[in-house]
Structure 1
């Protein structure tokens, strides 16, 4: 009676040349794909600036709506309670101060006066004369051109927003 061996002993493995070819192909693919993934900080910073702009616009809409209900949206100076925080307003919109921005949106903030200090909180704020607030994302300094500004001139009916992403 003949026995059948279910396990074959034909061990065909990879040759050294095949292994080297596979390693070379993987290396070429890594070199091609690496630049796309090396720019993640820039993409994240730009996305942060975009989300900050959306958050400030939303907060302004909420503030304006609450003031309109109270009939205070046309006053040159007023205040309103939002999320348990008092926010000063001008013509129905959030007045451009670092404290107001910090009270209006969620996140961690640090007010920095040293232009070379690296931001360690989510956002660094720099206020100029109560008409402009510059916000810098974490990891940048005030000398970088990666920032968001919130501007309202005295007597202006609406604030201006702008995100400078050139230095991100």
Structure 2
């Protein structure tokens, strides 16, 4: 005859197990909950990196062609301002090979982007209605010679401390800047 000894968990073992799981949940849960924010930041930073690479290629095309008005970039015509790609929505579309939204809103500071992936805004300058200043890259008020363009993801509005990639054509100094603002993602 076989004898079985059934032994369960003691109350102390159960309490310790629950405490350990609670500590793990407190430490691990915020990590998993921030994945959506991290993914939006990574998306915007990826767009910024792609834009920077495309601008370098366009810069090479400008030098090779000795262009002053426009260049052919992968079959797309890109206008130049200050010997650099113009800061327009068409420029972003051509450099990144994406479509300019067909139903974008002029209320980009109030209404979230509702396009499939991104919204694009170009040709913004100091003095133009609802111009969005990029932190660390203020433009001079020089009659709109220096301009900025932006690309931001679905569900977000365009704001200075927002979630977007940018391209600034500082034609007055013949330099450009590109980057990402992800503090609002």
The TM-score, its normalising length taken from structure 2, stands at 0.69
Deviation of 1:142 after TM superposition, in Å, equals 2.0
Paired residues, number: 158
Give the one of 112, 115, 130 matched to 1:118.
Answer: 112
- Deviation of residue 155 (structure 1)? 4.2
* Paired residues of 1:108 and 1:123 also in contact (CA < 8 A): no
Residues of 2 paired with 1:11 and 1:92: CA distance? 86
1:35-57 per-position Cα deviation (integer Å, ceiling 9, x unaligned): 22222233222222221221111
Q: Distance in 1 between matches of 2:40 and 2:27?
A: 24
1:132 maps to: 148
Farther off after superposition, 120-129 or 58-67: 120-129
Rounded to whole Å, the distance in 2 between the matches of 1:105 and 1:9 is 74
Q: Which has the larger radius of gyration?
A: 1
Change (3 A) 1:119 1:13: farther
Unaligned runs of 5+ in 1: none
The 3 A distance-change label for structure 1 pair 71 and 151 is same
Distance (whole Å) between structure 2 residues aligned to residue 119 and residue 95 of structure 1: 23
**1:1-168 paired onto structure 2 within 5 Å:** 10=4, 12-15=6-9, 17=11, 18-72=13-67, 75=68, 77-82=69-74, 84-107=75-98, 110=101, 111-115=104-108, 116-120=110-114, 121-127=116-122, 128=124, 131-143=147-159, 145-168=162-185
Structure 2 SS opposite 1:149: strand
Q: CA deviation at 1:28?
A: 2.3
C-alpha separation in 2, matches of 1:46 and 1:101: 19
More relative contact order, 1 or 2 (CA 8 Å, 6+ apart): 2
Cα deviation for residue 70 of structure 1 reads: 2.1
State the distance in 1 between where 2:113 and 2:5 align: 60
Deviation per residue, 1:3-51 (Å, 9 max, x gap): xx9xx66354532634454233212211221122222233222222221
Aligned equivalent of 2:131: none
